[in-house]
Structures are given as structure tokens and as C-alpha cells.
Structure 1
Amino acid sequence: MKRIKAYNIFSLIVTVALFYSCASVKKINYFQDLEPGVAEQTGAPIEIKIRPNDKISIVVNSKDAELSNLFNLPIVSHRIGTSSLSAGAQQVSGYTVDAYGDIDFPVVGKIRVAGLTRAEIAAHIKHTLITGDLVKDPVVTVEFMNLGFSVLGEVNNPGKFYIDRDGMTLLDAIGMAGDLTIYGKREAVYVLRDEQGEQVPYRVDLTSARQLYLSPAFYLQQNDVVYVEPNSVRARHSTVNGNNVRSTSFWLSLTSLLITITVLFVK
């Protein structure tokens, strides 16, 4: 009889452990609806459009280097760790878009760039230089300089990260932040986005590839804030003692007690 009771107690312990293990796996795995060989539909890549206060670099090249340099800002060098100009890493000066969405371009003057993509800005400047008979064969390159996004919450390396190309995704952001911690809520990742002066939240479920790929927040924009909500385990750990009926410490204590009782019954 004692052995039967001990067996029943041990079975209960194993059942509880397996239940919580299975529940945890379902909450941790990404892309649970993916099927091998089945393609998932994604939204069209979104190119970033320049906004006021963004900073961009614009470089004009042509066969006549002396002529094209008239349209380029000077190259400056900064010593790492200081703000003074000195011998060090060279970098191109940038244009900061003013409140009206314009930049002051050498020789040409004011150019409206707000609401345009990098390719559109490059094409517009190239057209202006050619039609104004300023440069016959210009090659215009536009790059981002201060555009970025922030990742907060339950990730391994939260912080601000810079956008160096179009088409950066939420998955890129999570990868740059070192992935979610074990306490990150996969089904509750938020992207806060500034849209016409208002903060618009988008909720993304990383356990569903279909929902993720079709989300308006899949492709990131400048100044986005990615926030990973903590799961219930982390929330419980944030209490004063964390020792309630649903806490990990409670179940560990209970398991230890049951094992002790099992040993006593066996004896």
C-alpha cells in the first residue's frame, strides 16, 4: 500500500513537471505556424522616407572631380572619444533636414527632401544638376546618418540601434538586441511608431509567422520603439518575495516536499 501511494505521488510530480514544460515550450518557440516547403506571404518592403530633423549624407561624383566637389560638403575627421577635430577617422559631413523638410544644398540652394526616399532624393538632385547645366554626368549617393530605433524590455542587449539601409525588419531589431530573454513574451512584442505626431502602438505575435510578416510593423521606420513585454514568470519575480502559489520557488518547494514524503512512504 505504501509503495502504491508513493508511486501515485511520484506520478503526480512527473505529470505537473511535464505540464509546465509543455506549456513553456509553446510560449517560447517562434513561428509555430510555419510548415516546411510552404511559402508565407509578406508585405511589400517599405522604403524609409526622410522626415524633419533626420540627417543624411549626399555625395556627388562625376568625371570632373573638381567640378563635382563644389556640390559636396567638406570631409572632416574626428578623434574617437572626443568632440574636437583632429587626425582620426574621416567622415562625410551631413545635412540636417529643417522643420520645413528642406536642406540647403551647395550652389543649388534649398531642396525639399521630406517625404522622399533615398533613391528619390538622389534622382531629384541628379535631375537638378543636369537640367541646370551644372554637372553633365553626376552620380549621386544618399545615405542615412542619424536614423535609428530603440529596443526595450525583455531582450538581452536593449539600446538604440542605427538604420543603415532600407528594409530593416523587426527580426533585424531583435537580432541586433541579442534576441529575447527567456522571460520575454513572444506573443506581446510592441512597436511604437510616430505617425503624424501621434504614438501608434502595433502588437506583434512572434509565435505566428503569418501575423508577423503581414504586420504594418514588420518593416521598421526611424524613431520606432520596440518593446518586449515580460511574461508572467518575470512579473512574479518582480514582487517583494515572489513566493506565491504560481511562482517557480513555490513549485520547487512543493516538489521537494513531495519527494521527501515519497521517500518516507517507501521506507
Structure 2
Amino acid sequence: MNKIDIRSVDVIQYVQPLREGGSLPAIVKADDGFLYVLKFRGAGQGKKALIAEFIGGEIARTIGLHVPELVFMNLDDSFSKTEPDEEIQDLLKFSVGLNLGLHFLSGAITYDPLVSNVDAMTASKVVILDSLISNIDRTSKNTNLLNWNNELWVIDNGASLYFHHDWKNWKKHLIRTFPLITDHVLLQQATVLTEASEEIQGLLRNERITEIISNIPEDWLLSEADALSPNEMRAAYIEFLSAKLSMIDLLVKEAADAR
């Protein structure tokens, strides 16, 4: 299995905001010449949303799903000083430092369950992914999936791993299943859940989970409001994901019953 190697780039141009996103992400240009969708640390859910986005994206990639390249993006304070829109100005000001970018898929269209096709294995893998990471935001109202080059691409995992918004009680989530899977946009197409589960278990080992968590920037784990240290948080993410992986059969049954 390939080692995770996350590149770091500098933002050199703010191109345009993406108003359809609740956290007001933006298309930006980086010093490598590529365009990215920038997720801001200064947005509503803060750095925790970036952590969830990163973990969810790299797990999705590990199990064979299409995910835009994730990069760490350095944003300096010059952009807020030249931005006329006050809302965006504040967002830029509070996001100076390390943010998260997804490679911009030019020409991609939002997945529409009424007109878009997806194969059963891909649908089943996405459903299991979202059960593992407790992703509450992949519904028909907000699919957080793209069609690009006739393939399904997974984006926007920032609403997952919601246990980390309450570190005092996070262990209560270790044995919980994910009943909200009943609202998943791909549930009806997920007809090979058992086969997908077997493939995922062969690809997503505890060593890979540990490697993903080890790549979370230290800065994102620092917060005066949280009771845990960065090392304790890393250990908690690993324990949570390992626990979910160990109960994957139960999660698969829950999803199959919901179908």
C-alpha cells in the first residue's frame, strides 16, 4: 500500500467564493499553478471540519474511491487586506495559516440521484465509508458527490466524526452504530454491501488508519477549548476508527436493513 504523502502549497490568488457551501469555501490558485477548493480553518466548524475532511478523504482513497488530491494550503494575511466583502474578509483573516485544499475538478457536476448512474460496488463502498466515519451529510438534499470524467468522486466529509465536538463524552460513540445511514443518497444502489465490506477490510488496516492520523497537522489539534492534548486526540481518532472497523459487519447489517 502506498505511503501517504500530502503536499503543502501556498495560496497565491483568491479566485472566487463557492456560495453553495455553508462554510463559504473558495476556488484559489496555488504556487504550483493548480486550482483548489480551499476549506477554511476560520469557517463555522473550524479546524475540526478540516480534520474530518482530511481523515474521511484519505480513508475513501484507501478503500479505492475517487477523491480529489488533498493538500495543505498556507494562507497569509495579505488576502484579507484586499478583499472588499466583509464576510469573506473576516473568513480570510481568521484563516491565516494552514488550511486544507481539494484539487479543483474543472467541469465536474454535482451528483443527482435522479439522473446520475453509479455502480453497485462504488455505491456500497460510499455507504460503508459514511457508516465508518459517521458522516451525516451525504443525503439527497446535499449529496457531496461529483460526477467527473464519467466517474463518481467523493468530496466534503467535514460533517463526519462529530464525536470530536465533545471530547468529554467521545467514548460513548465507540459502540454506537449509525442509524442515520437510512437517509444516505446511495443506499438504494448499495446492493453489494457484503462484498464491498470484504474489500474494505482488506484495504483499510489499522496501520493505515494510524498513518492517516499521524499526518494531521499538529496545529489543527491545538485548542484551548479542548480537554485533550494533540497526542490524546490522535489516539482517540485511531481508537474510534479501529472500533468502527471492528464492528463493520454490524454497520453493514444496519445499512442492509435500512435498504
Q: Same fold (TM over 0.5)?
A: no
Of the two, which has the highest radius of gyration?
A: 1
What TM-score range do you get, normalising by the shorter chain? under 0.3
Richer in strand (by share): 1
